[in-house]
Structure 1
Amino acid sequence: MMKGLKKWRLFSLLAALTIFLSGCGEKYLSTLTPAGQVGRDQFNLLLLSSAIMALVIIVVVIIYVLALVKFRRKKLGENFIPKQVEGNHTLEIIWTVIPILLLLVLAVPTVYLTYKHADVAGMEQVDEEGNKTAVTVNVTAKLFWWEFEYPDLGVVTSQELVVPTDEKVYFNLKAADVKHSFWIPSAGGKMDTNVENVNQFYLEFDEPSAGLEQGAFYGKCAELCGPSHALMDFKVKTMDRKDFDAWVDSAKTTKPVAGSDLAQSGEEIFNTSCIACHATSAAGTGGGVGPNLASFGDRNRVAGFMEHNEENLKAWINDPQSHKPGNLMPQPEAINNGEKFSEEQLDALAEYLMGLSIEK
């Protein structure tokens, strides 16, 4: 009976693992479906290392099984001792040289790709007019959100990174408070963001993200940074260079306009309660206390992880700590004369914020 229960538990565990693994491979999130050359290079290196490990395991298992079959006690008797190979120079050379060769096969492409992906000289290239030809993004990680500044374009966004396809995009990575780690699984490996220094690397994207299930790639913090580390997500929208240039022009020129009376009321509340921390224009530089909200209406998540709708937005505004513990956004009592926002105020704020857009 107990043996049957143990088998059933093992089956249940394997079934659960199968369900979890079925989520792997989604193009917007998985390292197994690389979306650019950096991701492909790293994926191919993963395949190479896995193949080498599999080869070693197979050879060892074959030798082990052959030894068990050939020299089993039942066949040769209790007192049989196989020929000893200790001190055999030929064998010692073989099992010394082969591992060295395997290590070289793995080490050469690893070192090559490490230096290749660390080459950010293209970040400084300029055209005949002295304008930089590559897109550079200053990424600042904060508790628990992301700021993306385009220093050569005069644009800053938060929570959603927008980049062109079919070219290298360079990143300057830093942290404003504690160590974080910048990771877009589909595009390439992670890199730490530190308070003390700036890390640099580049990524590439093959195709626009509009056709993906979520309309964007997922990015995450890959370094345990606090109680809401798991909720520190961001989205990456990729588009061809023509559309990206149009997005930049829109970001620099679009100003927030409250259309309806309710939105105008929300703008008034925002300007008395929220404007000290949040900008509503994407034109300018980074360094804001809170996320830039110029493209809030274009996002597909509230606070980086909640479904993008007015109900979630109102819940977030009225009690941010219950949804993302440890974040630095003040509770409404601190900015609304010691009281929670009323339902009417929340409706007005939600109407105003959902109308902030760069893309529409």
Structure 2
Amino acid sequence: MVGTFRPRRLASAALLGALALGLAACGGEYPNSTFNHHTEYNTAIDALWDKLLFWGTLVFIAVEAGLVYTIFRYRRRPGGEKPKQVHGNTALEITWTAIPAVILIFIAIPTVSTIFKTQAKAAPEALQVEVIGHQWWWEFKYPQLGITTANELYLPNGRTVNFALKTADVLHSFWIPQMGGKRDLISNHTNYVWFTPNADLPSSAWNGFCAEFCGASHANMRFRAFTVTPAEFEQWVAHQKQPAVFKAPAPVPAPASAAAPGAASVQLASLQQNAAADSSPAVPVWAFPKERVEAEFAYIIPTAKLPAGLTYDESLLAQGDAERGRQLFSRSTCIGCHTIAGTPFASPIGPNLTHVGTRHTIAGGLYPNDAKHLAYWIKSAPHMKPGSIMPTIGKGLTDPVRKNVISAGGLTDPEIADIVAYLQALK
């Protein structure tokens, strides 16, 4: 059967294609886009992308034009002759071999140049940051500054930052889309990547991700990056170098006439303990302002929902006592995994909590850092985040991973409220 050309069918296909392109162009803002020039790294990558897209588009147009011409020029017609087969056309074979080779040269030169540029060693004066990926949270160390923090990365505008990428367990991948620099964390090997946030970039907040599947909570392994002015970065560094600042209310001394024998020494010890805990910081507390995040960078605010079936008496949070929480923390299982600078307890297993009260998120960037979400997280982290190695602590609950009922060592809802008050007070 001889086919016939139908303009109406072609017009319908063209209309459908135009509609699809129109819908694709109707997107809004993309806060995690890599197509920007916030660092020299993603400027170089964007320039390479533009070149490859340009040459790829030319090849596509040329190939499709030849294909469409051939389809229409040599389509079957009623009474048409059978086309002759031509073999061994040397000129044609040389042409279709030479053209792709020339195109590859135009692609290879900028590609190799960009690889050498982005793989070169960072400048000697670069700020060094050690990135350690854990299942499923991020640890950031500033070895030149003596600072360790978790899930929140502060970078000064205008200064090159050299990242040493390591993993504590499986493969991960460090990526801040707006900054560029996606690179893998490989077991028993250190990878490096560096970039410089633009000097004229205003203080901003960005999302960071793990871009390599690493287990059950891979999609929940997030962090926040803050690019700040050099002066703001110095403020943040000075604050981070301080021990935890804990403001606990001073105890009310009993009247001297009512004091029991020996009570004076107990009272003095209590006052000394609280004076140490209430020591004022040598420098002001500084972190990226939460009001700016809410007003300008809402896309970094977590939106994860609380899990169904996990309950907590939220009315207790208003009654939480930070001093009781400090004492509970120091004798509970918490000290087996977490470090708080300025206390005698230190463990590198979990995130460093020294200034946790100034952070914007908890649980590897999955939930906002407020009293409500912190209470649920402490009660049962495995319910909040699949695969979390932090065990269930809420007394009477069944741990979803270990399948045991928490009894000895578990915390009641009022005790959790006290620990929440303590952690939120760590500025």
Shorter chain as denominator, the TM-score bin is 0.7 to 0.9
- Quote the Cα distance in structure 1 between the aligned partners of 2:140 and 2:342: 10
Q: Does 1:191 align with 2:191?
A: no
Which aligned segments of 4 or more residues in structure 1 are displaced greater than 6 angstroms?
Answer: none
Residue equivalent to 2:423: 353
Residue equivalent to 1:109: 110
1:80-91 pair list within 5 angstroms = 80-81=82-83, 86-91=87-92
Q: Does 1:167 align with 2:159?
A: yes
Percent pairwise identity: 33
Q: Measured at CA, do residues 338 and 295 of structure 1 come closer, stay the same or move farther in structure 2, by a change above 3 Å?
A: same
Q: Residue 144 of structure 2 aligns to a residue in which SS?
A: coil
Selected match of 1:325 from 366, 383, 386: 386
- Quote the Cα distance in structure 2 between the aligned partners of 1:338 and 1:55: 70
Residue equivalent to 1:22: 27
Selected match of 1:278 from 313, 316, 338: 338
Asked if 2 retains the 8 angstrom alpha-carbon contact of 1:333 and 1:339, the reply is: no
Asked if 2 retains the 8 angstrom alpha-carbon contact of 1:208 and 1:238, the reply is: no
- Quote the Cα distance in structure 1 between the aligned partners of 2:415 and 2:212: 37
Amino acid at match of 2:102: L
Amino acid at match of 1:60: V
CA offsets 1:301-321 (integer angstroms, 9 cap, x no match): 221111332111111111111
Q: Measured at CA, do residues 85 and 256 of structure 1 come closer, stay the same or move farther in structure 2, by a change above 3 Å?
A: farther
Selected match of 2:414 from 308, 333, 344: 344
| Displacement of 1:210 | 6.9
Q: Measured at CA, do residues 238 and 269 of structure 1 come closer, stay the same or move farther in structure 2, by a change above 3 Å?
A: same
- Quote the Cα distance in structure 2 between the aligned partners of 1:275 and 1:267: 11
Larger relative CO (CA 8 A, sep 6+): 1 or 2?
A: 1
1:1-360 pair list within 5 angstroms = 22=27, 25-26=30-31, 29-74=32-77, 77-81=79-83, 86-122=87-123, 125=124, 133-206=125-198, 212=204, 216-260=205-249, 262-273=321-332, 274-281=334-341, 288-303=348-363, 304-332=365-393, 338=408, 340-357=410-427
TM-score under structure 2 length normalisation: 0.69
User: Which stretches in structure 2 are left out of the alignment for 5+ residues?
Assistant: 1-12, 251-320, 396-405
Q: Residue 332 of structure 1 aligns to a residue in which SS?
A: coil
| Displacement of 1:147 | 0.6
Asked if 2 retains the 8 angstrom alpha-carbon contact of 1:162 and 1:238, the reply is: yes
Asked if 1 retains the 8 angstrom alpha-carbon contact of 2:170 and 2:214, the reply is: yes
Give the aligned CA root-mean-square deviation in angstroms.
Answer: 3.1
CA offsets 1:164-210 (integer angstroms, 9 cap, x no match): 11121001111111111111111114211122111112122126887
Asked if 2 retains the 8 angstrom alpha-carbon contact of 1:219 and 1:235, the reply is: yes
Larger radius of gyration: 2
| Displacement of 1:211 | 5.5
CA offsets 1:58-109 (integer angstroms, 9 cap, x no match): 11111111112222223x7432416x55433333233222211221111112
Asked if 1 retains the 8 angstrom alpha-carbon contact of 2:220 and 2:366, the reply is: yes
Q: Residue 336 of structure 2 aligns to a residue in which SS?
A: coil
Asked if 1 retains the 8 angstrom alpha-carbon contact of 2:175 and 2:182, the reply is: yes
The size of the alignment, in residue pairs, is 328
Q: Measured at CA, do residues 24 and 31 of structure 1 come closer, stay the same or move farther in structure 2, by a change above 3 Å?
A: farther
User: Which stretches in structure 1 are left out of the alignment for 5+ residues?
Assistant: 1-6, 126-132
| Displacement of 1:235 | 0.7
TM-score under structure 1 length normalisation: 0.81
Asked if 2 retains the 8 angstrom alpha-carbon contact of 1:35 and 1:207, the reply is: no
Larger mean CA deviation between 152-161 and 88-97 belongs to 88-97
